[in-house]
């Protein structure tokens, strides 16, 4: 009843009143067998009695009143905290948990681990306590058998766990964008080791993997690469249904490496394509105010990356490409239009005639006026 929805709080309180039981602070513990023979869902009165018998000496020595409830593989112990200092209640819970583990180990064929929830102010918070216990038991596979797992301790490492998961996700996204298959394999293995080190449980790792799936799909779409909707569904089903964590990570590695292969092919072709597209934009808009950042925005790439690509592929800076294009246009206009040199300079996009004249002479070997005169003389001489 107490595990039910919040809207039944009044019924829960009435249930307590009918039994002359106060609503009170509590801490929930759960001792579970580390190895359970038989079907996972099979309820075994023998196992319940065995666990209860093993830990009963510890319960009898406890100065704190308690309730117990058996399950198919363990025993819940609810320590009731009416009139008890919360700090003392917490100490009693830890001491009882340690004794339960020790007594379970002393009993033949019993290996117990115990989860400890947070101190809660009201029995109405029992659903929260049950969720805390479930999370504690998820951590048991990382800590090992005969462990005491406190929910407060789990919370203390959660911020570091979240930070590490975010760092790993961002790193893998960076490697995916450059098509680095080998880097992805190494980074994914390192991420898995880190997650285990900081205490990530199966739900955390599943969430991490689903996040990577979504990142991969997003990056693929950015590169204009299509993904079969059936493949999208299939990888999610694999992640959510995986029982063995290493299998889950292997599936994600295959997905990311496959995506990296396709992206890598485009990345190899990208520099030449970007330079060609940059030159095309400059050729169309050289007369206007044009900057590298404006071109990068039109091409949807980082302007620093575009700058490096242009330099590597052409040996020139973006400004050099722009000025050379303007100079070539100026040469054509000086020969074909009845314009003065300074008028041509402004027409092709220069804001300063002196700068134009200096660059023109550097590129062509003579001033704009001399170039126009020289070309005119050649035409006249050829008549």
Structural domain boundaries of the chain? 6-146, 156-266, 318-373
- Of 241, 250, 268, the C-alpha closest to 212 is 250
Position 107 scores a pLDDT of 56
CATH superfamily of 6-146: Multidrug efflux transporter AcrB pore domain (3.30.70.1430)
Read off φ and ψ for residue 203, nearest 5 degrees: -60, -35
**Model confidence pLDDT, tens digit, residues 80-109:** 988 888 888 989 999 999 988 888 766 556
**Model confidence pLDDT, tens digit, residues 318-360:** 999 999 999 999 999 988 878 888 999 999 999 999 999 999 9
DSSP-derived letter for residue 189 is H
In DSSP terms, 33 is beta-bridged to 112
Instruction: Report how far residue 159's alpha carbon sits from residue 282's, in angstroms, rounded to the nearest whole number.
Output: 49
Kindly report the CATH class assigned to 318-373: mainly alpha
- DSSP labels for 222-276? HTT----HHHHHHHHHHHHH-SSHHHHHHHHHHHHHHHHHHHHHHHHHHHHHHHH
Q: Which two tokens stand for residue 277?
A: 């597209």
Instruction: Report how far residue 299's alpha carbon sits from residue 214's, in angstroms, rounded to the nearest whole number.
Output: 24
Burial of 277 (0-12, 13-18, 19+ CB in 10 A): middle
Instruction: Report how far residue 67's alpha carbon sits from residue 54's, in angstroms, rounded to the nearest whole number.
Output: 16
- Of 52, 73, 67, 58, the C-alpha closest to 123 is 67
**Model confidence pLDDT, tens digit, residues 155-208:** 766 667 777 788 888 899 999 988 999 999 999 999 988 888 777 778 888 889
What's the predicted TM-score (pTM) here?
0.43
Other beta carbons within 10 angstroms of residue 92's beta carbon come to 18
């Amino acid at each position: 009843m107490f595990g039910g929805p919040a809207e039944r709080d009044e019924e829960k309180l009435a249930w307590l009143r009918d039994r002359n039981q106060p609503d009170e602070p509590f801490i929930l513990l759960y001792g579970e067998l580390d190895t359970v023979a038989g079907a996972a869902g099979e309820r075994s009165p023998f196992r319940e009695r065995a666990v209860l018998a093993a830990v009963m000496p510890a319960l009898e020595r406890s100065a704190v009143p308690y309730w117990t409830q058996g399950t198919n593989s363990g025993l819940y112990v609810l320590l009731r905290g009416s009139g008890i200092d919360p700090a003392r209640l917490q100490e009693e819970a830890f001491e009882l948990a340690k004794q339960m583990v020790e007594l379970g180990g002393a009993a033949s064929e019993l290996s117990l681990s115990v989860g400890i929830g947070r101190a809660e102010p009201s029995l109405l918070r029992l659903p929260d306590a049950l969720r805390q216990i479930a999370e504690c038991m998820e951590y048991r596979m990382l800590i090992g058998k005969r462990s005491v797992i406190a929910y407060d301790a789990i919370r203390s490492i959660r911020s570091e766990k979240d930070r590490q998961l975010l760092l790993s996700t961002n790193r893998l996204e960076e490697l995916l964008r450059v098509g680095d298959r080998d880097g992805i394999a190494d980074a994914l293995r390192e991420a898995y080791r880190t997650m285990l080190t900081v205490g990530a449980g199966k739900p955390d790792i599943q969430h991490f993997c689903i996040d990577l799936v979504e990142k991969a799909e997003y990056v693929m779409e950015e590169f204009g690469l299509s993904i079969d909707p059936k493949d999208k569904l299939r990888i999610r089903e694999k992640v959510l249904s995986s029982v063995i964590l290493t299998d889950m990570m292997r599936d994600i590695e295959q997905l990311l490496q496959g995506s990296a292969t396709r992206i890598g092919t485009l990345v190899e072709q990208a520099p030449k394509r970007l330079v060609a597209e940059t030159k095309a934009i400059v050729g169309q808009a050289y007369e206007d105010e044009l900057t590298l950042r404006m071109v990068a925005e039109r091409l949807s790439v980082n302007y620093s990356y575009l700058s490096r690509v242009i330099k590597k592929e052409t040996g020139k800076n973006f400004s050099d490409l722009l000025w050379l294009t303007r100079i070539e246009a100026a040469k054509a206009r000086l020969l074909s239009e009845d314009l003065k040199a300074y008028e041509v300079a402004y027409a092709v996009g220069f804001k300063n005639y002196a700068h134009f004249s200096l660059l023109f002479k550097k590129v062509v070997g003579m001033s704009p006026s001399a170039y126009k005169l020289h070309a005119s003389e050649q035409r006249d001489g050829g008549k």
